[in-house]
Amino acid sequence: MGRPVPWALGLLLSLLILAEAGRNFRLLKQQVLRAREVQAMKETVSRRRLLRPAPWRSPSEGSLRQPLDHFNRQQGQIFNQRFWINEEFWHRPAGPVFLYIGGESSLSQFSVLAGHHMEMAQKYGALAVALEHRFYGASINPDGLQDASLRFLSSQQALADLASFHLFVTQKYNLTRNNTWICFGGSYPGSLAAWFRLKFPHLVFAAVASSAPVRAQLDFTGYNQVVAASLSDPVVGGSAQCREAVAQAFSALDQRLHAGRLSELEKDFRSCGPLTEPDDRGELASNLADIFMGAVQYNNEGFQGGTVAKLCGIMTDTGLGSPYQKLIAINNGFLESMALPCMENSHQRALAELRSANLTLSGVGERQWYFQTCTEFGYYQTCEDATCPFSRLLTLSAQLDLCSQVFGIGPERVGEAVTFTNEYYGADHPKASRILFVNGDIDPWHALSVLKNQSRSELAILINGTSHCANMNPSRPTDPLPLVLARERIDYHVGDWLSLARKAPSAP
């Protein structure tokens, strides 16, 4: 693939997070990232060639001084929040503004260079702007990961950041009410896009919320219900036989774990170290489940050998022995595709990584995001119901223990936080207007989004056979027809909103 280009990471990372699974899932996301990165770079370079000899200006990068606490200005502390602006397609002075919202990872100038929102920016003559989320990437103070600082990390503060950024851009370019703002986001930023329209309708005219889990949920059993259904779905290469084989494999795994056959498991699944603690066994079970969960969430998105069809091909191959032996083969293939010598199953090492307050100014903000799950969203993917095909060690209590062990936040407080989030934003019935919720039915996160039209202007698109945030990627000739048609519908609604804004700029 060649060396990754740093500016291409931000948009792609923001589409890949939203999963509180094991270490393997995080590794898988990085591989998917690289595959998406290559495709996006090709799309950008191709478009540049088509525009020659027209001049091209690189997007501008800057930082905005923001209050650390918007709701207590007397507190006085500030941080610098990074942003990018691309004026290339803007029809001055009255062209619209397309706001790309950052999420739980670093952002980059790529967020205003490629993607479906940029294809529409070119079509509609929009000024493209993007704001990195507070406490992620470079938008964080040196002490930002300390427990005392993390209390200023929340979706409410993030929305206030967007309002402040709106004012900054408006003043910088002397914008008026004739400049229509539309915001875009995918995954957690998809929720932010919907909530920005909900809470600040006077600032943003409309929103496209892709793969947006707007309903917070403590015990997200629906995630693995979708995974199980996808493993059974022939549309993506699954089958009932595949799902049953997966369930049998993990049942055999649990039997060996309960029987204490640890040395056998360490050898079979190439563990980097001994499964000394009970929680190490949970890490092993979670890492193995990650391979299937990731294949479903990112189906056909670049995980080598990890599509639903390929994994099910292995799990139903009668020549590979028992389901347990097939699970061993699946794990070997994963490790080889990731160039890993062994599987890291140490729970203490996972705790140490989450407790570390050392800053990483690029990539995924694992500590920050887990803090937000403990204080706002939950989203814990469990396997304690009969429909789940994975290990019964994937429990809610195990994930809530991390909130307590890492941040000192007890289970009751986590539950209260999730309830408040839904009360504050309206869950999957937000009662807003001019929001388009876009989801793929293979993406497990669609279970927490808006899937049916709520009103004449609060609309939903569910794309058959597509994965997490697939509609936000640059268009490709190989895109399946349902995805092509969905992008056409998104484009139609964006054009319709802009037409309505021209006719009635004060429309509620």
Using the Cα atoms of residue 389, residue 395, residue 396 and residue 402 in order, give the sign of their dihedral: negative
Q: Residues near 384 by Cβ (< 8 Å), separated by ≥ 6? A: 219, 221, 392, 394, 395, 396
- Given the DSSP bridges, would you call strands 78-86 and 127-131 parallel, antiparallel or unpaired? antiparallel
Is 290 among the catalytic positions? no
Catalytic residue among 219, 279, 441, 443: 443
- Given the DSSP bridges, would you call strands 217-219 and 458-463 parallel, antiparallel or unpaired? unpaired
Q: Is 50 exposed, middle or buried (0-12, 13-18, 19+ CB in 10 A)?
A: exposed
- For tokens 């938008």, the residue is 139
Distances (CA, A) of 113 to 108, 139, 382, 482: 10, 20, 37, 25
- For tokens 């490709």, the residue is 476
Q: By C-alpha distance, which of 169, 166, 183, 102 is closest to 137?
A: 102
Catalytic residue among 149, 187, 286, 467: 187
Phi/psi zone of residue 432: left (φ > 0), alpha (ψ -120 to 50 degrees), beta? beta
Alpha carbon distance 329, 85 (integer Å): 47
Question: Strand runs (DSSP E) across 228-299, as ranges?
Answer: none
What token pair was written down for 11?
Answer: 């948009």
Count CB-CB contacts under 10 A for residue 150.
Answer: 19
Is 133 among the catalytic positions? no
Catalytic residue among 347, 446, 468, 493: 468
Residue 301 half-sphere exposure toward CB, CA atoms < 13 A? 31
Is 443 among the catalytic positions? yes
Q: Which residues are known to be catalytic?
A: 187, 443, 468
